Structure 1
Amino acid sequence: VAESAIVGYPHDIKGSALYGYVILKDTGESRDRENLRKEINQVISDTIGPIAKLDKIQFVSALPKTRSGKIMRRILRKIAEGDYANFGDTSTLLNPEIVEEIKNEKI
């Protein structure tokens, strides 16, 4: 994993769950995605505890960031919730096209 962002989203049983957006290093690009999901959750479970496991993991090529480098978790949270209606002002993003890419590849 090169970079990641974790956000909460509503879950029918748990109330809320964790959704992870993960950027892989070049060496991880060719690996099986299901095995990677299991490995990532195993590392999280071993390091933090089973309560912190991610319910969904989406592999992305980039994260929506401002020009200063701040990850726009507000946008990622709306995508995880399935709310595509109003992302707010995306003109300040370094790469606004990534929002559409993430939305289209949502799990």
Structure 2
Amino acid sequence: LVLHDLVAEAAVVGYPHDIKGQGIYCYVTLNAGIDGSDELYAELRGHVRKEIGPIATPDHIQFTDGLPKTRSGKIMRRILRKIAENEYGSLGDTSTLADPSLVDRLIDGRQNR
């Protein structure tokens, strides 16, 4: 995903999927001035299919203004995974996040309700 010209940053996590066992959930931060749209969603899915293959096509792509990072800049995939699994009530320790308010925005914008 980060090879796409409009993507600034991305994180990919797995989540339980009823049919496949494990689904692919992507969090994507776009470059400044770019807004997420259905067309861009489809374009990014096609980009992954072309670059990696159909097996890696994301089930969900959530456009977000940022990713949950520690103060040292490490992406907290544990939190992203819990949100993708709809287990956001058990996120664990979030005291090391640089921007704790981002978690609420990610929960509100989740794609697999």
TM-score by length of 1: 0.93
Partner residue in 2 for 1:16 = 22
Unaligned runs of 5+ in 1: none
Q: Which amino acid aligns with 1:49?
A: G
Where does residue 34 of structure 1 map in the other structure? 38
- In percent, how many aligned pairs have the same letter? 53
Tell me the C-alpha RMSD between the 2 structures. Answer: 1.0
Residue type of the partner of 1:85? G
1:3-55 deviation per Cα after TM superposition (whole angstroms, max 9, x unaligned): 010000000000011000001112422x6x11111111111111111111100
Q: What's the counterpart of residue 52 of structure 1?
A: 56
Distance across 1 between alignment mates of 2:90 and 2:33: 36
Unaligned runs of 5+ in 2: 1-6
How many residues align structurally? 105
Whole-Å Cα distance in 1 between the matches of residues 71 and 18 of structure 2?
36
